[in-house]
Chains A and B, each alone.
Chain A
Amino acid sequence: MENRGGSEMRDGVPDKPEAVYFFATCLVDLFYPQAGMAGMELLKRQGIRVIFPPGQSCCGQPARNNGWFEEARTVARQQFKSFPKSIPIVVPSGSCAGMMHEHYPDLFAGQPDEAEAKAFSARVFELTWFLVHVCNLSLTDHGKPVAVTFHGSCHSQREMGVREEPKQLLRSLNNVTVAELGRPGECCGFGGTFSVRQPDISAAMVADKIADIVATGATEILSGDCGCLMNISGALKKTGAPIKARHIAEFLIERTEPGASSPTP
């Protein structure tokens, strides 16, 4: 019942545009640039011109979630300035997309630039949703057989309505088996500053997530959100589990390169 398809979250699916903006997110920019490059490459392969505005930084979510609204607005306004054309803004993170799509209208309620914020929000799309619904992406698998599992972030699922799209992309790869997590809707325990404000609870949550991942038998855990990935991969490495963690865009690019080999954990 809660498994609503992403397309239902929006009034409709837009036509495939000639060009899109790419909002990388600060985590991708600083820690996972390869995920950003892969995301842009996937879009380019669909014949879409990808624009990466150099003025972009962060969606403002850390400040907003901690109650610092004015600081969040200051950072958000920098993004308004950096993404001026009325073309889609594609984001390789359901959480940052959720901040911009779902929370900017509330954050800017009653502000002089409320209308601008709403117009910006309406242009924000999560990457896998955009690839499935707008691009009708079809993939050819060049990799060896592999079993993977997918962790959908809470915000991608509950704020952006992205539920089956990433798994749909993975299942379209002939040699990839998608092993479902036992608790696909359960939070990994990241929660931004939560992970350091409540380190014990966060640690218990990620430990359970890792047990779930290990139980699937997959050799690779993929996600569309680098916050969750930082948490999950950090905990995986600490436990020494031989499971690779990375952004789904990187995996899709690797699998669809002619001559791709199976990923080594």
Chain B
Amino acid sequence: MFVVVLVHLIVAAVLVVARRQLQRWAFVVGALGPVATLVYLAANWGAVLDEEVVEETWQWVPAQDLEVSFRVDAYAMVFLLVVGVAGLAIFLYAQRYFTPARGPTLFAATMTLFGGGMTGLVASDHLLSLFVFWELTTITSYLLIGYDDRKAQARSAALHAALVTGAGGLAMLGGFVLLAEASGSYLISEIVANPAESSFAVGLAWVLILIGAITKSAQFPFHAWLPGAMAAPTPASAFLHSATMVKAGIFLVGRMGFAAVATVDWWQSAVVGIGLVTMVVGGWRALRQYDLKLLLAFGTVSQLGFMFLLIGSGVPELVFSGLAALLAHGLFKATLFMVVGAIDHEAGTRDLRRLSGLYRSMPVLFAVALAVSLSMAAIPLTFGFDAKEAAFHGLVHEGVLWVAAVATASALTVAYTARFVFGAFGSHDEGQEPAHGGSLRLSNLLLAAPASLAAISVVVGLFPSLVFPLVDAAAEATTGVAEAGELLLWPGWGPALAWSLVSLTAGSLLAWRTGFVGRVTDAVGVVAARLPSGDGAFRRFVPGLLSFADRSSGLLQNGSLPAYVAIILLVAITTPTVAVLRNGVTLAAPPTGTLLEWVLGLLIVAFALLLAFVRRRFAVVILLGGVGYAIAGLYAVFGAPDLTLTQLLIETLAIALFALVLRHMPATFSRPATARVPRLAVAILVGTFIFAGGLVANAARTSSRVAETFLAQSLPEAGGSNVVNVILVDFRGFDTLGEITVLVGATLGAAGLIRPILKNRKRS
């Protein structure tokens, strides 16, 4: 598995580095990623279906249990199969979809990177590595949606998607940590094997994880980002936003759902409820779309609800049918997106009001679309039907309410499928046939890629026993129950078939009476637009957050240097003061000191007092230097030559640099803008704190001095007899590395700020 993920990352990196050379063949190169996934699947196929588990672990920080751990069982295999098969078809399709001159190499690289993230996600066993791959898919999704970065709509859709799924991801991370701490392991396999005891923290963890899953899989009420994501170029929509990424949440509830069902009683009703609402809302809104891509997007929302309900329910038979539905959906939805892309590419529009008679001008494309649409509508003898029939079979046992609700949503699916097929390919009065239709040949990848997926879909539909072993093994891997369901070409008469027929008939009626349905959906739409919605909430939330940020930073970052200094100093002294006062104050008597120490000390005090009264800037610099030199003298008296040397040099350099600065400033200070009393108060507080802090610290030593260890170890361990230097470069070398990093940052920042200021001044 490591190899597969690495191939994705390397191919993506190569595409970025050699983007000019590879421009013509970007997607063919990118297809190496899905090919690697497929090769991996082929190599492990037999073993995994025999209930073996392929595990790979790379210890990163063993002391912290941090590792990248892959665990591929049949359940992961289902998702990997979708990523591999749909990915390969879509990459080849994209090769033809883009004109090479538009430079899609970066797009191809991002898609490949996403493929790596997705394979890593479904193969991860460690919660934290799962999270990292999860976020990798969020980020690549953001980049792909916003690929057309000159369109404001694409940018805002990308941001919407990233904010919703990113916030969900963060919630999920919190849930992961809570759950792992309660379970004592970060490995999903162990958490599921030994679910944590029910407690408030565990309950909260499951809520947070569910939030992560429903945001990622575009479940109600967070579904609005997915239709917006259709701003992405079609290959990305087909790959990320229908076939793979949006199934990550479903993957998660399926992977962990059993542990959740065992600990919290609300899990099942929550998952099923959310799935049902999503199914109905998505199907209903798909009926109102004119843009073929948006129609498919809402259809995806609906189908995701369906799969979420089945796979997250924790009922073995439903999980089984859900996994079959997932495979079927991957095949038909990716195909349909590619079909829409081909229509858009050839006819120049994907508005179903402007398309007409495409069944005549693009007959092969029509056949492809029809083959998979039948599967989407779950017409008998198709893969979609086989899966849905298995679902009905399971739902019948769960009660009439569940099955009736799913049948209603399925009727909507039939209706929007009909709207899609007739809208895209049928003849309308107002639409027009594309001027240069019929140019698509089967040798064209725009047609060949969806056609091959459609062929797979048809073959699997006719011979469902081809995928049964995989689906069965996958369901067993998560639920522990083998042969929970069946995939049959003809299920035989029974309640399940009856429900299928009911939804087909109802859906056909809906599709037949389009005029009536249109009026009803419009009427409902008018009402629904006034109801609170996830989309509206998001649109109000973001500006609200931004204006809050504006106001709070306006308050805190008001541009007054004295205010900043005061805030920093007061915060710095408050925390230790509170800590000391809570623990009781013990003051050590100050050491008496020698005559030389007194002289130097008084010198420092005298310089400091003078500083407060001087008005000329240069005199201030000199006095500050005096304070520094006197401190260097104190170091020398205490026998610290290294500190003395450094202090002297620092003071010298600082005075000289100050002098450089002062050439650009007025010779004297202007009258301060802030009042004298608060500044005096802050100064006195800080001074008192430092003085008292010294006395307290002197009395507070409880453990032995660290100096002795350092002195003893310096020469034997680090090979140096200057302990100060050994501390800097070895014992505390990490600190020094951090400090010089800060030094570099500060210098670059200061130089970067100074240059433009001086330049402006010169001009004026």
- The answer on A and B forming one complex is no
Binding site for A on B (CB under 8 A): none
Binding site for B on A (CB under 8 A): none
